[in-house]
């Protein structure tokens, strides 16, 4: 049986510089959908690439003192390395300087001239080079580019024009008949009101004032306008216009595209010009154009000139690709703008990844080892408590499918995390350690098996988003290929009893918030683009860049230092835990009574997930004795006990028996 196909594309990015985290956002989102569709049995074609012609690129290469192709090859290598580091599973990478593309663009242009869709005239108007867009006087905003707000310059040159006006009615009819074509819905009205209703102008489609582009075959003084050249990549990459029958077969198989993912600023090119070009070529139109929102920094859109761009490679190096993929897809609802803040990144990584998912896997593995010799047990009949978790997991599969159909990645992840959190709660509620202690082996086996198979389901569900973590969990739990398939999510119980589970390091380290915020402040802007600079800089310049980084690091480190006076304000004392009990309705909190020698203090501590209450009684600990009292879940807490944590591991800072309660720690 032939598989259904799914063709998905990202914009082809301008390689005038290295890419930032905003470009990674689109590419990661498209990757999650491509991986998901493959899991669902589709024959997926995931295309990305680079848009290498135009004035902007030519200028940048000249500024760098390089031959244009040499300049481009270096940046393309950097981009492909970024996609490898982010685990982007693209099937093809198109460069618009490749002959498979340029040859077809030349032919298309000639054909459109012959058909009368393209005609020669002269252009007089404004041009925004960073956006590579033409603007009429009335469209400018305060004399600047209405898209990016930058300077425009006046252009007067002979040009070919595309008769866009001829196709407007057909385009509007297409929108009408295909209400899902432009997503999110709101962007459709914006397009119609801003660009079509005021009267769609014929589009200028060639330039003569520079030569870095595809030359018009019949009139080589002209190069093809970069947007006409670029949009065509979506068909040339899959074989349109090729002489090779295998390529043509490929085109038949994948076209029309199922979805073009683009940022909202280039929706206009994809839902007006691109469909019209395709109509003129007599080709079917893509099924959907999804214009997602922007990833913004606190001070607005990322831009190198503002110095607020984030180099994705530095983030991946520090946190790993899955963590960055998770953050991008979970934090910003697809379609809307979202602000990148270091705090939100650290919080997501600490709470969602380290505390929730990492902890679930770590606890379960540890318990299978402690209570079942490391072997996945055979379950012995399910009770309502187990069934509730199993039902939630099964229902979640349907929810995730529905959200993925709508390309709502953040909601799909939020569905999965409901199961992760519920599974952690299930462990607290069923208390396998107590079942073990009481010798209730049947019940213990059921609980351990339920935890294991829910983890299997979670691992399968997260495959499109966190591919590395998913395969690591599946490997540790020796889940076979069949049980790791999407179809194996429709029933519970595919994990193999009898397999030995492998213990490993925590999947995600718990981060020290203060240290991370300092490090992120440094990564943001200051160091971004360093590699790009390094590519074009001399050795001396590279040295200067790295010395500057070291100095900046020292400044950051220095600013973390405190004086002895500040430290001595903290009163640390030895205390002994007399009793411990859970706080109602809070799965992380314990209420402790701690003997400080001269008094017994009540302290509420967030360590419930790491200790049984019995384990704690009698422990000699270090107490911060002069903290202002606070109420946690309505319970008064008069101090704090110190603990050391690394990843999922948390241990109390303890003191030998011989030191009396109340002794000062200094
Ligand atoms: O426009 N937030 O290339 P480009 C979210 N070559 N997405 C962002 C972003 C941000 N802050 N910044 C960039 C071009 N993007 C053309 C495309 S397609 C035939 C030609 C993403 O390098 C987003 O997808 O300027 C946006 O549309 C794209 O990068 C622009 O990339």
Domains and CATH numbers, the chain: 341-490 (1.10.730.10), 524-565 (no CATH), 572-652 (2.40.50.140)
Long-range contacts (CB closer than 8 Å, 24 or more residues apart) made by 643-649: 643/607, 645/510, 646/506, 646/509, 646/510, 647/354, 647/358, 647/362, 647/505, 647/506, 647/508, 647/509, 647/510, 648/354, 648/358, 648/359, 648/362, 648/363, 648/506, 648/510, 649/506
- Residue 174's pLDDT is what? 98
Q: What radius of gyration, in Å, describes the C-alpha atoms of the chain?
A: 30
Give the per-residue pLDDT at 305: 63
CA distances from 14 to 130, 260, 446, 529 (A): 10, 17, 55, 15
pTM of the model: 0.80
Indicate the range of 177-181, 249-253, 447-451, 660-664 predicted with least confidence.
Answer: 660-664
**Of 494, 474, 460, residue with least CA distance to 379:** 494
Q: Tell me which of 16, 22, 24, 306 to substitute to probe ligand 1's pocket, judged by most ligand atoms within 8 Å of the beta carbon.
A: 22
Which of 99-113, 422-436, 467-481, 622-636 is predicted least confidently? Answer: 622-636
Predicted pLDDT at 551: 40
The span from the CA of 108 to the CA of 111, in Å, is: 5
Q: Please check the confidence at residue 541 and state whether its pLDDT lies above 70.
A: no
Write down the pLDDT at residue 304.
64
Each residue of 265-287: pLDDT tens digit? 999 999 999 999 999 999 999 99
pLDDT (average), residues 98-115: 98
Structure tokens at 402: 């529905």
Say if residue 557's pLDDT is above 50.
no
CA 337 to centroid of ligand 1, rounded, Å: 14
- Alpha-carbon span 251 to 258, nearest angstrom: 13
Residue whose entry in the numeric block shows the structure tokens 């600023």: 265
- Quote the tokens at residue 414: 């939020």
User: Which has more pLDDT, 403 or 659?
Assistant: 403
pLDDT class of 598 with cuts at 50, 70, 90: confident
Higher pLDDT, 554 or 139: 139
Q: Is residue 351 over pLDDT 60?
A: yes
Tell me the three-class secondary structure of 191-231, residue by residue: HHHHHHCCCCCCEECEECCCCCCCECCCCCCCEECHHHHHH
Confirm if 183 and 174 have CB atoms less than 8 A apart.
no
d(CA 362, CA 39): 26
| Ligand 1 center to 234 CA (angstroms) | 15
* pLDDT for res 111: 98
Q: What is the mean pLDDT of residues 229-238?
A: 98
How is residue 286 annotated by DSSP?
A: P
The phi, psi pair for 247, rounded to 5°, reads -65, -40
Residue 546: pLDDT band (50, 70, 90) is very low
Q: What angle do CA 506, 512, 518 make, to 5 degrees?
A: 135
Residue 497: strand, helix, or coil? coil
- Weakest-pLDDT range from 138-142, 298-302, 446-450: 298-302
Nearest CA to ligand 1 atom 24: 263
What stretch of H or E contains 593? strand 590-595
Please give the distance, rounded to the nearest whole angstrom, from the Cα atom of residue 272 to the centre of ligand 1.
17
Q: In terms of pLDDT, which residue wins out, 661 or 94?
A: 94
Mean pLDDT of 641-666: 84
Res. 566 pLDDT band, cuts 50 70 90: low
Residue of the CA atom closest to atom 12 of ligand 1: 22
* Per-residue confidence (pLDDT) for residue 554, from 0 to 100: 37
User: Whose CA is closest to atom 27 on ligand 1?
Assistant: 263
Q: Which of 424, 421, 422, 420 is nearest to 456 (CA)?
A: 420
Angstrom CA distances, 418 to 135, 397, 494, 543, stand at: 48, 12, 21, 49
Polymer length of the chain? 666
Mean pLDDT lowest among 73-82, 338-347, 412-421: 338-347
Spatial contact of 354 and 465, defined as CB atoms under 8 Å apart: no
Annotate 595-631 with three-state secondary structure: ECCCCEEEEEECCCCCCCHHHHCCCEEEEECCCCCEE
Greatest Cα pair distance in the chain? 97
Question: What pLDDT shows up at residue 549?
Answer: 31
Please tell me the residue having the least CA distance from ligand 1 atom 29: 23
Q: Which residues contact 579 (CB under 8 A, 6 or more apart)?
A: 592, 593, 613, 617
pLDDT at 586: 86
Task: Report the pLDDT averaged over residues 422-437.
Answer: 97
- Residue of the nearest CA to atom 28 in ligand 1? 263
CA separation for the pair 504, 512 (Å, rounded): 21
Question: Which residue CA neighbors atom 26 of ligand 1 most closely?
Answer: 263
The answer to which of 176-180, 301-305, 313-317, 470-474 has the lowest mean pLDDT is 301-305
Hey, which of 9, 25, 236, 328 would you mutate to test ligand 1's pocket, going by the most ligand atoms within 8 Å of its Cβ? Answer: 25
Position 233 pLDDT exceeds 60:
yes
- Terminal alpha carbon distance of the chain: 73
Provide the mean pLDDT of the chain.
90
Distances (CA, A) of 381 to 443, 446, 447: 8, 7, 10
Q: Please name the residue whose Cα sits nearest to atom 21 of ligand 1.
A: 23
Comparing 583 with 175, the larger pLDDT belongs to 175
Burial class (CB in 10 A: 0-12, 13-18, 19+), 376: buried
Between the CA of 12 and the centroid of ligand 1 the distance, in Å, is 8
What is the whole-number distance in angstroms between the Cα of residue 263 and the centre of ligand 1?
6
Q: Which residue's CA is the closest to the ligand 1 atom numbered 8?
A: 22
Q: To test the ligand 1 pocket, which listed residue (23, 78, 311) has its Cβ within 8 A of the most ligand atoms? A: 23
Q: How far is the CA of 13 from the centre of ligand 1 (A)?
A: 6
pLDDT of residue 562: 54
Which of the pair, 124 or 283, is modelled with greater confidence?
283
| Residue whose C-alpha is closest to residue 498's, from 355, 379, 417 | 379
- Cα–Cα distances in angstroms (integers) from residue 424 to residues 173, 220, 528, in the given order: 52, 67, 38
Q: Spell out which residues line ligand 1, taking CB within 6 angstroms.
A: 11-14, 22-23, 25-26, 51, 230-231, 233, 262-263, 265-266, 294-295, 301-302
User: Angle at which helices 359-372 and 409-430 pack, to 10 degrees?
Assistant: 30
Q: Residue 465 above 90 pLDDT?
A: yes
Q: What is the distance, to the nearest Å, from the Cα of residue 226 to the centroid of all Cα atoms in its chain? A: 29
State the Cα–Cα distance between residues 286 and 234, nearest whole angstrom. Answer: 10
Higher pLDDT, 599 or 37: 37
Question: HSE of 113 in the Cβ direction (CA atoms, 13 Å)?
Answer: 17
Taking residues 587-605, report their average pLDDT. 88
- Judged against a pLDDT cut of 80, whether residue 530 lies above it is answered with no
97, 69 contact by CB (below 8 A): yes
d(CA 661, CA 576): 6
Cα 321 to middle of ligand 1, angstroms: 20
């Amino acid at each position: 049986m032939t598989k259904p196909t799914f063709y998905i594309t990202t914009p082809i990015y301008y390689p005038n510089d290295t890419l930032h985290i905003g470009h990674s956002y689109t590419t990661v989102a498209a990757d999650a959908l491509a991986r998901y569709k493959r899991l669902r049995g589709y024959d997926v074609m995931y295309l990305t690439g680079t848009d290498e012609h135009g004035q902007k690129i030519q200028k940048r290469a000249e500024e760098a003192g390089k031959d244009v192709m040499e300049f481009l090859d270096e940046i393309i290598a950097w981009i492909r390395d970024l996609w490898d580091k982010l685990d982007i599973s693209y099937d093809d990478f198109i460069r618009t300087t490749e002959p498979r593309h340029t040859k077809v663009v030349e032919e298309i242009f000639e054909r459109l001239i012959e058909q009368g869709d393209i005609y020669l005239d002269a252009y007089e108007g404004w041009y925004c080079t960073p956006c590579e867009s033409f603007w009429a006087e009335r469209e400018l905003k305060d004399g600047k580019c209405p898209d990016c707000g930058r300077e425009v310059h006046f252009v007067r040159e002979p040009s070919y024009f595309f008769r866009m006006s001829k196709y407007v009615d057909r385009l509007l009819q297409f929108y009408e008949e295909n209400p899902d074509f432009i997503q999110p819905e709101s962007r459709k009205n914006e397009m119609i009101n801003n660009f079509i209703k005021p009267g769609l102008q014929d589009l200028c489609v060639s330039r003569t004032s520079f030569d870095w582009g595809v030359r018009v075959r019949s009139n080589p003084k002209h190069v093809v306008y970069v947007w006409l050249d670029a949009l065509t990549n979506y068909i040339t990459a899959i074989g349109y216009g090729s002489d090779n029958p295998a390529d043509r077969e490929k085109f038949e198989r994948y076209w029309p595209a199922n979805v073009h993912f683009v940022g909202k600023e280039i929706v206009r090119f994809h839902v007006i010009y691109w469909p019209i070009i395709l109509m003129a070529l007599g080709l079917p139109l893509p099924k959907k154009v999804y214009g997602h929102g922007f990833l913004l920094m606190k001070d607005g859109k990322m831009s190198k000139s503002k110095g607020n761009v984030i180099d994705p490679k530095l983030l991946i190096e520090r946190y790993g690709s899955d963590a960055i993929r998770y953050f991008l897809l979970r934090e910003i609802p697809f379609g809307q703008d979202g602000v990148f803040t270091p705090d939100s990144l650290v919080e997501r990584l600490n709470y969602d990844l380290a505390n929730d998912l990492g902890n679930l896997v770590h606890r379960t593995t540890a318990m299978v080892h402690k209570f079942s010799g490391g072997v996945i047990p055979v379950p012995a009949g399910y009770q309502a408590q187990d069934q509730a978790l199993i039902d939630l997991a099964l229902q979640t599969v349907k929810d995730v499918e529905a959200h993925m159909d709508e390309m709502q990645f953040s909601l799909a992840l939020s569905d999965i995390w409901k199961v992760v959190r519920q599974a952690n709660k299930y462990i607290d509620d069923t208390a396998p350690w107590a079942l073990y202690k009481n010798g209730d082996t049947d019940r213990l086996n059921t609980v351990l098996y339920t935890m294991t198979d829910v983890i299997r389901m979670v691992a399968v569900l997260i495959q499109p988003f966190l591919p590395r973590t998913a395969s690591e969990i599946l490997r540790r739990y020796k889940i076979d290929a069949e049980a790791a398939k999407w179809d194996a999510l429709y029933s519970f119980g595919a994990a193999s009893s009898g397999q030995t589970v492998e213990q490993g390091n925590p999947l995600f380290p718990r981060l020290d918030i203060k240290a991370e915020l300092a490090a992120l402040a440094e990564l943001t802007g200051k160091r971004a683009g360093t590699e790009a600079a390094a590519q074009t800089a001399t050795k001396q310049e590279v040295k200067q860049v790295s010395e500057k980084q070291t100095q900046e690091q020292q400044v950051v480190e220095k600013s973390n230092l405190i004086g002895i006076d500040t430290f001595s304000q903290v009163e640390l004392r030895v205390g002994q835990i007399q009793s411990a009990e859970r706080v109602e309705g809070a799965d992380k909190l314990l209420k402790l009574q701690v003997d400080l020698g001269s008094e017994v203090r009540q302290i509420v501590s967030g360590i419930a997930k790491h200790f049984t209450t019995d384990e704690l009684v009698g422990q000699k600990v270090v107490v911060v004795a002069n903290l202002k009292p606070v109420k946690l879940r309505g319970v008064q807490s008069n101090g704090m006990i110190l603990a050391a944590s690394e990843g999922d591991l948390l241990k109390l800072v303890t003191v030998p028996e011989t030191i009396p309660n109340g002794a000062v720690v200094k």
